[in-house]
């Protein structure tokens, strides 16, 4: 789940579903947010949350570097991981009904619009953190923990906050290992506080909302989740790369000068599509298949666990 929340395209909820612990997780979250505490559910949430936190903190810097330096390869892997979740959600959905098909179509259209618009791509006209967008990013992260099919990492990517949050996580790890380094920790808190508030608010709202929707509109809800999962692939086209901006280009509302370009973080470089070589196409196909196989392996383990309990 921790790795899934770092990866655009795959949902932490999908991984919990594949592992066979999703119903217990939702029940535990819903109980805690309504101030009901049972030892069994608290232990489950503690185990999942602790392991996810370890995965996020330990891998955030690595994932950020790989996305910046090897975007096409990582996006190919992300695409496979995403598509691997489709059979998982489909098993819950079948047989499909008219409401499920309509929900699926709506989910695909929504994700297609978000991929084109990319609401956070240009950021604010200042160098400081965009607190409103970071709060929204926290809500997106919470949705990935709760809803199979919705990828928080993908939503962060199209909101323009993905690499910012990964960088802040890695900054905390480095700062704590250095002493601690209080100025670095303070800078990271400008990202973590609004994101954390958004995550808490999102978990409280979404965990209870999903219980209601699944109880009253199960097919339409699952169809929508499937559409969101399929639509996420539209924003993960692998053959694009960050390019240092030219003089006069506008990044985050500022016209680039030579000094600003020199200081610009590579994560903020504008993206442009490129024509892949034959080797890159073959590599991308292989990584898509690898990602699909990884998600399916987790689903197989979870399905086997359910059959033996």
pLDDT at 121: 46
pTM (two decimals): 0.71
Does residue 103 lie within any of the structural domains?
A: yes
Does residue 248 lie within any of the structural domains?
A: no
As given in the structure block, the two tokens for residue 132 are: 């409103």
Determine whether 173 is exposed, middle or buried from the number of CB atoms within 10 Å of its CB (0-12, 13-18, 19+).
Answer: middle
Per-residue pLDDT of 212-258, as tens digits, reads 887 888 899 889 888 887 887 887 788 988 888 888 887 766 778 88
* CA distance readout (Å), 280 to 73, 233, 237, 290: 8, 18, 13, 15
Report the number of distinct structural domains present in the chain. 1
- The answer to whether 30 and 82 are in contact (CB under 8 A) is no
Does residue 54 lie within any of the structural domains?
A: yes
Does residue 269 lie within any of the structural domains?
A: no
The β-bridge partners of 273 are 240
**Residue whose pair of structure tokens reads 């399916």 in the numeric block:** 296
Does residue 250 lie within any of the structural domains?
A: no
Per-residue pLDDT of 78-114, as tens digits, reads 888 888 888 888 888 888 899 999 999 998 998 788 7
CA distance 151 to 144: 5
Strand (E) or helix (H) holding 201: helix 182-216
- The answer to whether 60 and 173 are in contact (CB under 8 A) is yes
* CA distance readout (Å), 153 to 8, 160, 242: 4, 11, 18
**120-124, 163-167, 220-224, 243-247: least confidently modelled range:** 120-124
CA distance 98 to 24: 29
Whole domain around residue 224: which residue ranges?
A: 2-239+275-308
Does residue 258 lie within any of the structural domains?
A: no
Mean pLDDT rounded to a whole number for the chain: 81
Residue 301 pLDDT exceeds 80: no
Helices (H) and strands (E) in the chain — how many of each? 14, 4
pLDDT at 124: 39
Does residue 57 lie within any of the structural domains?
A: yes
CA distance 43 to 59: 24
As given in the structure block, the two tokens for residue 193 are: 């506080």
Does residue 296 lie within any of the structural domains?
A: yes
């Amino acid at each position: 789940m921790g790795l899934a929340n770092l990866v655009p395209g795959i949902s932490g909820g999908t991984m919990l579903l594949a592992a066979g612990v999703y119903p217990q997780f939702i029940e535990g979250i819903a109980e805690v947010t309504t101030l009901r505490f049972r030892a069994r559910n608290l232990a489950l949430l503690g185990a999942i949350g602790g392991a996810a936190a370890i995965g996020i903190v330990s891998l955030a810097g690595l994932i950020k570097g790989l996305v910046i330096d090897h975007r096409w390869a990582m996006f190919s892997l992300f695409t496979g991981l995403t598509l691997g979740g489709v059979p998982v959600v489909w098993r819950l959905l079948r047989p499909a009904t008219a409401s499920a098909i309509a929900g699926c179509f709506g989910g695909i259209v929504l994700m297609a619009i978000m991929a084109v618009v990319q609401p956070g791509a240009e950021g604010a006209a200042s160098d400081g953190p965009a607190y409103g967008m970071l709060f929204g990013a926290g809500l997106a992260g919470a949705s990935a923990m709760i809803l199979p099919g919705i990828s928080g990492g993908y939503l962060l990517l199209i909101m323009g906050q993905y690499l910012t949050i990964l960088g802040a996580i890695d900054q905390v790890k480095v700062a704590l290992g250095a002493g601690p380094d209080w100025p670095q920790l303070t800078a990271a808190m400008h990202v973590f506080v609004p994101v954390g508030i958004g995550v808490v608010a999102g978990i409280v709202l979404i965990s209870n909302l999903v219980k209601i929707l699944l109880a009253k509109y199960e097919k339409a809800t699952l169809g929508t989740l499937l559409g969101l999962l399929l639509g996420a692939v539209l924003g993960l086209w692998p053959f694009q790369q960050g390019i240092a901006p030219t003089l006069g280009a506008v990044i985050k509302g500022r016209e680039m000068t030579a000094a600003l370009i020199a200081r610009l973080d590579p994560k903020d470089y504008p993206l442009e599509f490129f024509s892949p070589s034959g080797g890159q196409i073959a590599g991308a196909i292989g990584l898509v298949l690898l990602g699909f196989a990884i998600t399916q392996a987790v689903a197989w383990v979870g399905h086997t666990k359910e059959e033996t309990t």
